[in-house]
Amino acid sequence: MKRHTVLFRPLPCLAWGGAWVCLSGLTLVRLWALLYGRLPSLAIPALAVLLTGATLLVGWRLELPRRFLLPFGPTWKTALAAALAFVPGMALDTSYQLFTVGDMAIGGALFRLLCGAGSGLFFACVVLALLWAGRSFGRLPMPRGTAVLAVALVVNVITALYCTGTATVYYWDTNIYWSSSTMLAGQHLGLSQLRLVAESVITQEYNYLLSFPLSLVMRVLGTNRYVFLFATVNLYVLPALLGMLVLGRRSKYGGILLCCATPMLLYTALTGFVDVAAAGAGIWAFVIYTDESRPQAARGILTGGLLTLVFLLRRYFFFFTVSFGIAAFLALLVRRSQWKSFLTMAVTGVGFSLFFGQSFVVSQVLSANYADTYSAYDQGRWIDLVMLCRYYGYIMMAVALVCAVFLLLRSESRYSALLSLCQPVLCLFLFTRIQSHGQQHLLLYLPAFCFALAGGMELLPERRAVRWVPWALALCTLGSSFLPRTQPSHPSEIAVPDPLPAFTYVPGQRTDLAQLVALRVYVDSLSAEEQKTAAVLASSFTFNSSIYDNTLRSLNIPQSGGPSTSMIYFATVDKRDGFSWNALTADYLIVADPVQTHLGADNQHILTVLAQPVLDGTGIGTAYRRLDQSFPLEDGVTVYVYERTREITQAEYQAISDTLVALYPDYAQQYQPPAG
């Protein structure tokens, strides 16, 4: 036996050595993106080799491959799974998208080969670890098929009724994923598109990870809004609802009650937010991590993977990931025996996050001015309160809080109860340090909300006199969301917090659609004889450039084959955006009166500094002449089209720059005018 051991010892040594070389190549490129210019060029490869070697040494001493990377044992099945994961991991490596290579030596073929091999090897380890964790965790008891089918039927019927009754324009976040899904559906399906999706994950805030599955459906059924919404509901909402059914499985009809008590999930999807997929992953993270009957390491690895997935799907769910991790650590105060689940979750989450989301985690989250850059989106705590009450209702939030407190009083449920109580509180604290909540951001609290309600239903006695209470609360919550009511154009218009959800499933209707269509046709007609350019100077919920761009598409009006005016994008948010100097070369400006902002004029000076003089005909506004046509919209807004009658002078360029620099001296570089 000893002789055979000696004979085969060189094989594992070669394997570890090869892994060291390949992973060092991957680490080198990742560190280069982070440290180039901060450390001497020769120090970065040395650091990469040392870090990789130290990591592999720890893995070897702890026997991590044997423990966590052999889902089917040391057999051909494990080898096949590793090979199948290695190929896409290498082919879709996105490390070089983190920086501009130029003519640097690190962009050579050898470095690219080593980095790709390291990426494939790491991705293979990710897949093997998840397979091992899934097999070790075992199967969850699923709800009855009849319950799942009933829920699927109901949500699809509601989707159909909503789609056929709505008459509005989809813009900004409610349109972004529809547009990107349509774009992907029109492209050739192959390796190049998969690379495009992979590169977007590491480089773009609104990446294509959620759009790609939707685009596969839209390839077959079409790219209109109805197909997009039905695909979103069935691919992303139903898995989240299935998670609710699993959460509520310990009480009779508990899952159905959870679905009824959270109508905001489906409504958020119907308004165009595919963010519901991230909320669904968060629900499953609670389901898996709190199941103390399963192996701790398996729970930790699966949860770490889900916590990484949630913010890869939607960046702001990083607040959910961080708050979940901190809450899980605090929960150890009442159940120290669960340290293995926390440790494996933390290690897995950090490793996966750095591999799949390095640019976001390092370049944005850890950026010193991240909060200041997005300070315009902080509209005050009153907005946060009314938004939470608008979509959850303060009655149901109070019920969820009471449930969590009662769960804390029971020793057997104290660990998971502390997790479900701390996570939303921490998430709320962290998120409000950056900005106020929009509709989609409220999904951050849905997993803990559902978990607390599910736990509370388990505590209810079996007496019939008590069992009607959750039904009454759930049905009142659900029924409130179907009542017809006028919807405020901005949360600041809400006078008092709502006891029950105050949104409505009654399809939205805009009364000014004819005017929006007429505006689009009129502006395009300006290019009848010669190609012209235009820019939209407005940014409100009534009118903005996205509404202008998507009016025809939202109404299923085909684009005519005639001339169209080319649009120049105009940025609208101070600090986050620089001034759009190209707009000053546009032939026409489309301006709303009064000047339209959605974050307040004090946060959108880069818009008002041009729009107001144009409306007043002063300063730089003297370079424009208002055309005869006007387009009255909702809320007393009128849109005018202005024609540029002369070139903008260098002094006028500089005047805009001086105004913005005086307001934001720390962001002066963003407001420098182009050279004359």
pLDDT tens string 514-532: 999 999 999 999 999 999 9
Q: Which residue has the tokens 């799949």?
A: 356
Structural tokens at position 554: 């939202």
Give the other-Cβ count within 10 Å of 667's Cβ.
Answer: 18
Collapsed DSSP state (helix, strand, coil) of residue 593: strand
Could you give the maximum distance between any two Cα atoms of the chain, in Å?
Answer: 96
Q: How do 638-644 and 588-593 pair as beta strands? A: antiparallel
pLDDT tens string 476-501: 999 999 999 988 878 888 889 999 99
Q: How do 533-537 and 566-567 pair as beta strands? A: parallel
Among 126, 95, 124, which Cα is nearest to 112's? 95
Q: What is the DSSP string of 1-45?
A: -HHHHHHHTHHHHHHHHHHHHHHHHHHHHHHHHHHBTTB-TTHHH
pLDDT at 13: 74
pLDDT tens string 29-38: 999 998 998 8
Residue 509: phi and psi, rounded to 5, are: -135, 125
Per the prediction, the chain carries an average pLDDT of 92
Residue 591: phi and psi, rounded to 5, are: -125, 135
Say which amino acid occupies 15. Answer: A
**35 HSE (CA, 13 A, CB side):** 16
Rounded CA separation 350/91 (Å): 23
pLDDT tens string 107-134: 999 999 999 999 999 999 999 999 999 9
Range with the poorest average pLDDT among 197-206, 229-238, 331-340, 387-396:
197-206
Rounded CA separation 588/624 (Å): 8
Rounded CA separation 326/335 (Å): 15
Say which amino acid occupies 603. Answer: N
pLDDT tens string 402-416: 999 999 999 999 999
pLDDT tens string 594-621: 999 998 888 999 999 999 999 999 999 9
Rounded CA separation 141/245 (Å): 10
Contact (Cβ atoms closer than 8 angstroms) between residue 436 and residue 383: yes
